[in-house]
Amino acid sequence: MRERNNIIMEYGTYMLVFLASYIASLAGLYYLSGILLMGEALYLYVHWVRETGSLVELRALFTLAWVGGQGIACMQLSKLQSDWQYITWLSFFLIYIGFGIGYEWGQKYGKVEERELEKNEFQSGRLFICIIGLMAVSIACFAFEALKVGFIPLFSDEPHAYSYFHVSGVHYFTISCILIPAITILYLKVSRHIGWKKMAALVLANFTAVAVPFLCVSRFQLLFAVGFAVVTYIMVNKRIRLRTMVILLVALVPVYIILTVFRHHDVAYLNSIFEMKYSKMPIFITQPYMYVANNFENFNCMVAQLTEHTYGLKMLFPFFALTGLKFLYPQLVSFPIFLTKKELTTLTMFYDAYYDFGIVGVFIFAVIVGAVAKVLMSIVKKSQNPVSYLFYGQIAIYLGLAFFTTWFSNPTTWFWLILTGMMCWFVGYDKNKKKDEQKDE
């Protein structure tokens, strides 16, 4: 257990910086308000990375995304932004404090143990089956959806074609191919020998994992597939060179731009949506800025306009969606979404928690998320099952993009986690090994 003084110092510093940022915002010093929080986020990220020895330590990622994202939003570069309600500020503060309480509560803290995955032909064989299975299912479901809806988003003239490229219940399987690159990294790590036939199959599977998001014109799915693979690589290889990370990021830039073009979102259209105060700001700054900042604005918009809470119904949406209850009882999911602009629909991870239970809800939810993150860290360090890294990788992505959307109220998130759980059992269950252990007893 870390010394209590260290914990008090870390969170005490955050509290002081947060208060200073709040005062600066009240005084209209928006740039200063944002810079203070962004600087604190970067400081805490570096601090916890050094302390744990991991670039993808979950609290460090959450800090960078939540505190840093809030700092970006505080700069108010768009006309859509306004001064936040004091309840909004308090909610954002309690979310980070709650996450820290959950992360520290009753858990030991220390450096992530450096553990190599052992070569295991049984596990590598099962992982290979998972990869090929995901590829086959994804291709089949994509073809079915394309025939059903009558178009492929990449070749459509619709600005929001991807939004209509869904066959209920099928699309979950279509996009499950984005798990393939991360599983491939695990497969390469535990395999002793890979023949050319299997290598060709791996290349085809990973091509599918990139091609499907590209054909769907989904920038998020493509970024998720790459980010998930990078996190998994860092976890199983201990370290990744900074040069490698930069190359990956640079390689994604032209792909991101191409997908934006194919979504028929030209510069004039995007600028009309984002309403930046400085109209000549380059779009490559405007777009990522608004994709971070406006999520916090939508949260504030909800705080200002919400008249009654839904007491759990919003966060139960994945259950209603996956079970089909939303079709039988549409009133269970028919709640208004409060947005600054109808085109900007992304939300923070804690939007639904506030919608359901208010400020108490976001605090309790943050405590639970923090506790789960720390428990998951411990499980990964102890588990001999390589698929445990897939759980970690997904949660790392969700926390690293905590500003972006309501991950845990998204049925796709739970579908991927359930699918990962099934693969974890499949890869970890060795019938012969169980028999041998029973004989030894």
- pLDDT digits 0-9 by tens, 310-344: 999 999 999 998 888 888 888 888 899 999 998 88
Tokens of 143: 């073809």
Q: Which of 105, 101, 20, 83 is nearest to 366 (CA)?
A: 101
Instruction: Confirm if 388 and 428 have CB atoms less than 8 A apart.
Output: no
- pLDDT digits 0-9 by tens, 133-163: 999 999 999 999 999 988 888 887 766 667 7
Neighbouring C-alpha atoms within 13 Å toward the C-beta of 421: 6
- The residues that bridge with 78 in the sheet, in sequence order, are 276
- Give pLDDT, residue 435: 46
- Give pLDDT, residue 438: 45
- Give pLDDT, residue 55: 83
Distance in angstroms (rounded) separating the CA atoms of residues 342 and 238? 43
Mean pLDDT of the chain: 86
Q: Which of 335, 349, 338, 345 is nearest to 305 (CA)?
A: 338
Tell me the DSSP string of 71-100: HHHHT--BTT--PPPHHHHHHHHHHHHHHH
> Residue 239: what residue type?
R
- Give pLDDT, residue 112: 46
> Residue 330: what residue type?
P
Average pLDDT over residues 12-29: 96
- Give pLDDT, residue 40: 96
Break the chain into its structural domains and give their ranges.
1-112+283-377, 121-267+378-437
Q: Which of 201, 235, 183, 220 is nearest to 57 (CA)?
A: 235
DSSP H or E stretch at residue 243 = helix 242-262
Among 63-67, 99-103, 113-117, whose mean pLDDT is lowest? 113-117
- pLDDT digits 0-9 by tens, 162-208: 777 888 889 999 999 999 999 999 999 999 888 899 999 999 999 99
pLDDT exceeds 90 at position 233? no
